[in-house]
A and B are shown apart, each in its own frame.
Chain A
């Protein structure tokens, strides 16, 4: 499978990438690790006229503790997250979730910024950042803005990003010793989650339970109101509209959401 032909640019700075986006953003796609974009280009489901490769912009690849938050450069690779001592100490959920993405080869290439911007509701990291209550930092020639992850997604493969904007940073609160867990249900190794549930500090993020990553709001409210894990987990699929496909029906996914939420809450409780 060969992509449709395209122009290729590899700027060596964020400013260089933004200048290209400003000029040709409507016709361009950003390539970071390429493990979401290249497969759809090979299937010719996407045919950008210009590919802007930001994969080697060093200023986008970092993990640093910043006050109450951990700031992660958008070009930080999944393998960086799973191997990072700072992540393990400050946001252990994120490292554990990164470790379930794809396989080692994929994790050597895929980036957190790419995963979030691609906006696949079956991806692991968006729901984890949602459970963490993180923020996506976008930059364009017009300036920089921070979008809470709760406001970032608008639909399948859709976000609030404008064509001239680039994800430059992801910020997540330091959760330290707060209980956490990630339950990912797959049939085969390195598959996407049929359903996934990320729990941290009483917040619950759902993978593949709707058009976007979702919070299990009813479960969270029940927990906050003193409900037991059993009672709260029974509400995990409330308000969701999961997809039906070869991997499972809506009812099956709702069932999985309840079971996995119970397991995750139990693990997180310690």
Chain B
């Protein structure tokens, strides 16, 4: 067993843990904070996203011992209370950025990190910035609107009323051209 001391949502926590304990399980089972969901358990879906020293990470692919002596923020730690929601949480509610809600804590935490690095993202930057978070209800449209609203921008202005980005891919890299034409051209 290894002793860890992790500040979770501003409060000191400590426990003797097996080194193989995942941070997601530490948060849910040792500390008892259940907002952080475990979806795929393979670093794909992003439901377990939390902030580690302010940066988004997937807590299913982190050992609790790796977070020793560091600060973790979960969805529970974001808002003061139900009446005073964090701006990102408030925007997800206002724009109905959720359907079943399973992906929501991860989406919100990923958004907090995204907006810290890029306070006024374009729609494309939001979609790329949330590429590590999957919504199996496929409710992306309102999730993207929520992030636009959380950044202080007007979703109807940024997206256009038809709701589709017109902007070209950012930078010089084509991440996913989508399909091959079948010819060498």
Q: Which residues of B contact A108 (CB under 8 A)?
A: 52, 55-57, 113
Beyond A83-B117, A181-B173, A259-B185, list 13 extra A-B contacts (CB 8 Å). Answer: A3-B20, A5-B18, A5-B19, A6-B19, A38-B63, A96-B173, A97-B173, A99-B173, A102-B43, A102-B132, A189-B128, A258-B184, A262-B184
Write the residues of chain A forming the contact surface with B, with a CB cutoff of 8 angstroms: 1-8, 10, 31, 34-35, 38-39, 41-42, 51, 53, 55, 79, 83, 96-97, 99-100, 102-106, 108-109, 181-190, 233-234, 255-256, 258-259, 262-263, 267
B110 touches A105 (CB 8 A): yes
The number of A-B residue pairs with CB atoms under 8 Å apart is 117
A255 touches B180 (CB 8 A): yes
- A124–B44 Cα gap in the complex (Å)? 18
- A2–B139 Cα gap in the complex (Å)? 31
Q: Which residues of B contact A10 (CB under 8 A)?
A: 65, 68
- Flag whether B79 is at the interface (Cβ < 8 A): no
Residue of A181, A184, A190 near B131 (CB, 8 A) is A190
Question: Which 9 pairs, one residue from A and one from B, show the smallest C-beta to C-beta distance?
Answer: A103-B132, A8-B19, A189-B131, A108-B55, A3-B20, A105-B58, A96-B173, A105-B132, A105-B56
B173 touches A2 (CB 8 A): no
A240: min CB distance to chain B, Å: 15
Report the count of interface residues on B (CB-CB < 8 A).
41
Q: Which residues of B contact A3 (CB under 8 A)?
A: 20
A190 touches B132 (CB 8 A): yes
Q: Which residues of B contact A55 (CB under 8 A)?
A: 66
Instruction: List 9 interface pairs A-B (beta carbons < 8 Å), by A numbering.
Output: A7-B19, A8-B19, A10-B68, A55-B66, A103-B131, A106-B132, A187-B176, A255-B184, A262-B185
Residue of B49, B172, B175, B185 near A105 (CB, 8 A) is B49
Chain A binding surface, main DSSP class: mixed
- Flag whether B46 is at the interface (Cβ < 8 A): yes
A58: min CB distance to chain B, Å: 14
Q: Which residues of A contact B22 (CB under 8 A)?
A: 2
Q: Which residues of B contact A5 (CB under 8 A)?
A: 18-20
Q: Interface code B64-93, partner A: CB below 8 Å = 1, 0 otherwise? A: 011010000000000000000000000000
A60: min CB distance to chain B, Å: 15
Q: Which residues of B contact A102 (CB under 8 A)?
A: 43, 132
B56 touches A42 (CB 8 A): no
Closest residue on chain A to residue B106 by CB atoms: A105
B62 touches A96 (CB 8 A): no
Residue of B61, B133, B172, B176 near A181 (CB, 8 A) is B172
